[in-house]
Structure 1
């Protein structure tokens, strides 16, 4: 019995069993920042008349910015200095946002006609919704694995 307890402690970084709900909440947190950044980037890129590549780059940059900002805000509210809070946000969100952006933008880039859809087109919003849903579904297990090892959003929990 002691071996099983030690194995579980090692396997989950001392956090116990990580629930799918906990992983989904962490992923939803990232998804919110990513979605805001994606949409804002596409709106700005479209308004400025930029091409697909430039608009996608802006959307990705803004997705990371908003994803990190949400975590940063919460950690700063806990009274942590900015430098430490920034390190926590980078550690908590980088892999999650990167996976989410890879899947999200991959779906949009590979979906026939999606890159040419305009903000007023139903196709644009439908493909974006599908892309974000796919990114969420694929990122939840990544976050579950990371939290279980004391990484990712697990580093934020001590500040809540």
Structure 2
């Protein structure tokens, strides 16, 4: 795996730094996943969401998980107290910020997983649509991100409302996450388009490609945040 600077130039120090950074991100994912396995979240789908967050937030995801994730464990009163101290959740405004952060992380989990699968498939099999690799990749990304994002939301609704029918839970998931998923993908595609203009020769076999993907996912998180905040405030999405 290499960090391609241009068509004919490769920078060895950047290759090493890129590989080290991605290795650190993978280590963060493993550590969060191990902690979630030992101390499961109250909402089962978050046991997948928090490790996935490490893929694009890197070590920062570890801090987010310790601050927000541990307060969601069953009976973890110490974690809840720590969370209140860090985010000041005694006020309604701060609770909204906390709920939006977790909800956006949850939304991002499904989107990130879909985008990773989509980009890997599109790159590995050189998929095209109407002769365009870009169109094939982006459509596959969006479809998979949407399906998995709705699935993540569905898996969060069913435990909270076990009496709801599967159909109603699915419709509620569509209502809750369609806007936020779309917002996430818009932010992500904007950075991916920038990457094509700056480094068009990067492929999935280059570490630089995945670092660009991380930046794109962070942009998606940023554009999805206001959408999630509005959805939670409007009562269209449960605060998490």
TM-score, with structure 1 as normaliser:
0.79
Match of 2:165 in 1: 81
Q: Secondary structure at the match of 2:204?
A: coil
Of the two structures, which has the highest relative contact order with CA contacts closer than 8 Å and spacing of 6 or more? 1
User: Runs of 4 or more off by more than 6 Å in structure 1?
Assistant: none
Q: Which runs of 5+ in 1 are unaligned?
A: 1-15
Does the C-alpha gap of structure 1 residues 114 and 36 become closer, same or farther in structure 2, counting only changes over 3 Å? farther
Q: Where do residues 1-150 of structure 1 align in structure 2 (5 Å cutoff)?
A: 17=93, 18-50=95-127, 51-77=133-159, 78-79=161-162, 80-111=164-195, 112-114=197-199, 116-150=201-235
TM-score, with structure 2 as normaliser:
0.54
Q: Tell me the distance in 1 between the aligned counterparts of 2:141 and 2:214.
A: 15
8 Å contact kept, 2:202–2:209: yes
* Number of aligned positions between the proteins: 140
Q: Tell me the distance in 1 between the aligned counterparts of 2:136 and 2:201.
A: 14
Q: Tell me the distance in 2 between the aligned counterparts of 1:116 and 1:30.
A: 30
Does the C-alpha gap of structure 1 residues 52 and 149 become closer, same or farther in structure 2, counting only changes over 3 Å? same
Shift of 1:76: 3.0
Q: Tell me the distance in 2 between the aligned counterparts of 1:39 and 1:98.
A: 16
Q: Secondary structure at the match of 2:214?
A: helix
Does the C-alpha gap of structure 1 residues 132 and 114 become closer, same or farther in structure 2, counting only changes over 3 Å? farther
Q: Secondary structure at the match of 2:104?
A: helix
Shift of 1:139: 1.9
Aligned alpha-carbon RMSD (Å): 1.9
